[in-house]
Amino acid sequence: MKRHILRDPKIYPSQVFALLSPKPFAQIAWTLVEHLHIPLEREPDLELTTDQNTHYWPRYSYTDPESESTFILVRNKGTDSYLVPELKNVDIFLVEINQYLTFQLSLDNISKTSFVNFCFEVETNMIKPESQQLLHA
């Protein structure tokens, strides 16, 4: 019998969706609020300092007290770098974190929004652990 061990409770359990869209980031956030009924709010930019440089990525988030789900919407292309360089073609990541594995989002309901040209669920083996930690920050 194979056992799975959760290595970092901050990262798991979650699901990550990659979105490709030509629309501006703020318009995508607004459309998600309207279509998926997730009242996302603008957060301070995700910030990462490496060597002499500081990188920023805009993001929105919302925590639903009833379902205990946290939703994070973050743009992949920051000021001068990618949040997840392994997936440079992705415009935006939508992350849902829920410790009870009761996820509200599905690929089907995200793909039906008017702004998404293409979307897919990101598997853990598609990105590096460092990128996973940044997505969940």
Per-residue pLDDT of 63-122, as tens digits, reads 999 888 899 999 999 888 899 999 999 999 999 888 877 777 788 888 877 778 889 999
What single DSSP character describes residue 77?
A: B
CA-to-CA distance for 56 and 73, rounded, in angstroms? Answer: 14
pTM, entire model: 0.84
Expressed in angstroms, the distance from the first to the final Cα of the chain is 33
Residue 32 has pLDDT above 70, yes or no: yes
pLDDT band at 57 (very low <50, low <70, confident <90, very high): very high
The β-bridge partners of 73 are: 60, 94
> What is the mean predicted confidence (pLDDT) over 38-57?
89
CA atoms within 13 A on the CB side of 103: 15
Residue 9 has pLDDT above 50, yes or no: no
Query: In terms of pLDDT, which residue wins out, 101 or 61?
Result: 61
Structure tokens at 126: 């598609």
> What SS3 class is residue 135?
helix
| DSSP letter for each residue of 29-52 | HHHHHHHH----EEEEEEEEEETT
Separation in Å, CA 134 to CA 10, 59, 77, 109: 11, 12, 13, 25
- Quick one: pLDDT at residue 43? 94
